[in-house]
DNA sequence: AATTATTTTGTAAGCGCTTACATTGAGTAG
DNA sequence: CTACTCAATGTAAGCGCTTACAAAATAATT
């Protein structure tokens, strides 16, 4: 592996000059630039990013924390963030926190130890306090899908209350009055917000919320099935089921089908997130669009603007609005 | 950000000693170890991984190249690789190549410039020659889902010919004789291998391959739909359709349903890959399991063994065998 | 107690770059 | 022709660590 020293020797110039042509910042005469470039090419020189980072205190990489490396939701997020950042020559270092406080903490410390220039976090388990300290510690940080008090300017969130409201409102507008709900784990803010929206829509329509109509799942497909079974017993004859995410909706659909319901004629189902596979389902899932793509993009632009002085082509917004994606699983009553 | 120097000062020892307790390699007396650890804790010291890497020529990170950051297949791969490597304290740096020669090339150079200790590549676009040079250049490299001549010991592949064979064989065994096929882009080895397996199964059953029964897709869902439409015209009345991956199978299912076919009574469909969502489809997709999980795991173990001297808990294998996952889309004739 | 072996610690030279500052060498003006 | 600019290049001091080697402290041996 050739070093800058060998290049400088081959080109007959000093280290500093080679560095200058590499970074293109200072002025170098055409002639010497050429010499250096030739030397680089003939040596197959490749700068050592590690050494560059150490010397310049810039890594040109931003850390991205996601909960999992698989799954549509995070796939979208990673993909979007990478896309935007790569266009400006920045790199993304991805880690997974697995919705576990210690592991998220570790992952963030890892990213910091790699001296990422900024962090984009989809942190679900770590405390608000920890995040505040992080921000105070001068690492540029952005938080996705979580609103932390006093850190509003660092957070990019979707209005989950509104999303939950819209989902249930859609069912009500279609004539349903007996509506069941499968929530996410309620200790999570997004899950409880969506449920709050659900209740609000019921109330607004003059329907009373029955605790038997609620099943608390964990956002995974299997609890959609469980929820469906459970609700059939506790809250029989409901005609619509709202699920707090698409995975659980898919599970519920499977269970409903096994129980002999035709969707949507006998049972309507509404999901949440609008992940990619929701349109592969049969019938295609009616759901609430969670603008994860837009949030990821925004987070990336925020970083470019605040850390790398690249002005964002779009206005930075922090609150995103969900909307109904009307497909085939919500039937009129 | 505290440095090792400040720690050494606070603890009243030399730099070297601090470094020793950090790395736990050399012997340090209990007393000084304690002093140093206290100093670290009180300063909130966090080693600078960049500096460590530069000095030690070890980054403890392995580069992973995937084609895309989203999608079930890559999600599985990333997740598995990360899981195995993290258990040994190694980190994964993920990049996307987007099935484009230049971008894959760039991505690999990026990983090299970050001085990854090893590379795990799902490289589809870059040339065999380039990969050989890479291996020769002393960077430990592993290739997933691609067999490169002379690099067998670095490759982890599934037997695609056999997979294609099994898919079609399953249809034949179910009594089908008029079988259509939607392939992946045939310039890709895996796509052409699967097709070869398909032909082999036909031949073995005494059926002749009709070029009208083939539609060349691009592995994306939309070409599954297109393929279905196209084949209805060129190869009418087929009773089974084999698709070279699950995405296209899903697209074909949608198109088939729109055309009024009931699956599997009027049309059978077999996919390939067994990605996660294949079981969410309705009916649940009969497909060929592509042991991506096993391959990712193996690749990670190979790296641990060859680069970090961690012995693998499992025997290193390079060829993986696919198998039929019998679900609900293949009907007996 | 003196000598030697062993363990623990310190010293200092890098790792491959960036960058402030010094130096050189033209080009201009007087 | 001398003095003075200003652009182009070079010099050298780090960045925060690791690690060979040397030195010092401690333990073991006679």
Q: Identify any residues that bridge with B62 across adjacent strands, giving them in sequence order.
A: B92, B118
A291 CB-contact burial (10 Å; exposed 0-12 / middle 13-18 / buried 19+): middle
What are the tens digits of pLDDT across the range B114-123?
999 999 999 9
How far is the alpha carbon of B221 from chain A, nearest alpha carbon, in Å?
Answer: 9
Contact A79 B69 (CB under 8 A): yes
- Cα distances from A95 to residues B73, B95, B265, in angstroms, run 18, 12, 45
Contact A280 B282 (CB under 8 A): no
Instruction: Let me know: does B56 contact B50? Beta carbons within 8 Å.
Output: no
Q: Which positions on chain D have an atom < 7 Å from some protein CB?
A: 7-20
Q: What is the mean predicted confidence (pLDDT) over A50-76?
A: 94
| Per-residue pLDDT, A219 | 93
How far is the alpha carbon of A49 from chain B, nearest alpha carbon, in Å?
Answer: 5
Contact between the CB of B29 and strand C at under 7 Å:
yes
Q: What is the mean predicted confidence (pLDDT) over A176-205?
A: 96
Q: Which positions on chain C have an atom < 7 Å from some protein CB?
A: 7-20
- Cα distances from A290 to residues A226, A276, A321, B160, in angstroms, run 24, 11, 8, 37
Residue of B nearest to A83 (CA): B96
Cα–Cα distance for residue pair A232/A96, rounded to 1 Å? 36
Q: Read off the pLDDT band of A16 (50, 70, 90).
A: very high
User: H or E stretch including A289?
Assistant: strand A287-289
How far is the alpha carbon of B205 from chain A, nearest alpha carbon, in Å?
Answer: 33
Instruction: Find the chain A residues whose C-beta atoms sit closer than 8 A to any C-beta of B.
Output: 46-51, 53-54, 59, 68-72, 74-76, 78-79, 82, 91-96, 109-110, 112-115, 221, 250, 253-254, 257, 276-277, 280-282
Averaged pLDDT of chain B: 95
**Is a pLDDT exceeding 90 seen at residue A27?**
no
Q: What is the mean predicted confidence (pLDDT) over A116-142?
A: 95
Residue B296: partners with Cβ closer than 8 Å, 6 or more residues away: B76, B77, B78, B79, B80, B81, B84, B144
Averaged pLDDT of chain A: 95
Cα angle: B21, vertex B22, B28; to 5 degrees: 10
Contact A95 B95 (CB under 8 A): no
Measuring from the CA of residue A56 to each C1' atom, give the nucleotide at the shortest distance: C18
The pTM assigned to this predicted structure is 0.91
Instruction: Let me know: does A48 contact B115? Beta carbons within 8 Å.
Output: yes
Among all protein residues, pick the one whose CA is nearest to the C1' atom of D9.
A17
Cα–Cα distance for residue pair B40/B314, rounded to 1 Å? 38
| Per-residue pLDDT, A1 | 82
What are the tens digits of pLDDT across the range A223-249?
999 999 999 999 999 999 999 999 999
Q: Read off the pLDDT band of A24 (50, 70, 90).
A: confident
Cα–Cα distance for residue pair B228/B267, rounded to 1 Å? 11
Contact between the CB of B307 and strand C at under 7 Å:
no
What are the tens digits of pLDDT across the range B41-87?
999 999 999 999 999 999 999 999 999 999 889 999 999 999 999 99
Report the residue of B85, B94, B280 to disrupt the A interface, i.e. the one with the largest count of A CBs within 10 Å. Answer: B280
Q: What is the mean predicted confidence (pLDDT) over B4-19?
A: 93
| Per-residue pLDDT, A332 | 94
User: H or E stretch including A120?
Assistant: strand A118-121
User: H or E stretch including A193?
Assistant: helix A189-204
């Amino acid at each position: 592996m050739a070093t800058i020293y060998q290049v400088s020797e081959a080109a007959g110039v000093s280290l500093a000059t080679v560095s200058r042509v590499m970074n293109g910042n200072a002025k170098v005469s055409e002639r010497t630039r050429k010499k250096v470039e030739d030397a680089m090419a003939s040596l197959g020189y490749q700068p050592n990013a590690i050494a560059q980072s150490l010397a310049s205190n810039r890594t040109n990489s931003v850390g991205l924390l996601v909960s999992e490396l698989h799954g549509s939701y995070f796939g979208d997020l990673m993909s979007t963030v990478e896309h935007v950042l790569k266009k400006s020559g920045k790199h993304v270092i991805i880690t997974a926190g697995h919705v576990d406080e210690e592991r998220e903490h570790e992952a963030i410390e890892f990213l910091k130890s790699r001296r990422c220039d900024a962090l984009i976090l989809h942190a679900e388990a770590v405390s608000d306090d920890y995040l505040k300290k992080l921000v105070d510690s001068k690492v540029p940080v952005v938080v996705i899908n979580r609103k932390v008090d006093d850190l509003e300017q660092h957070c990019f969130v979707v209005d989950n209350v509104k999303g939950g409201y819209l989902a249930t409102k859609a069912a009500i507008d279609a004539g349903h009055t007996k509506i069941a709900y499968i929530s996410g784990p309620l200790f999570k803010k997004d899950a409880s917000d969506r449920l709050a929206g659900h209740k609000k829509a019921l109330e607004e329509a003059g329907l009373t919320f029955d605790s038997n109509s609620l099943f608390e799942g964990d956002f995974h497909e299997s609890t959609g099935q469980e929820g469906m079974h459970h609700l059939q017993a506790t809250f029989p004859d409901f005609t619509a089921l709202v699920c707090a995410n698409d995975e659980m909706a898919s599970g519920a659909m499977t269970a409903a089908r096994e129980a002999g319901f035709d969707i949507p004629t006998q049972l309507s189902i509404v999901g949440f997130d609008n992940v990619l596979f929701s349109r592969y389902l049969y019938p295609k899932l009616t759901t609430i669009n969670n603008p994860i793509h837009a949030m990821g993009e925004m987070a990336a632009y925020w970083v470019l603007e605040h850390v790398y002085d690249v002005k964002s082509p779009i206005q930075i917004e922090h609150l995103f609005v969900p909307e109904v994606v009307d497909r085939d699983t919500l039937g009129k009553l």
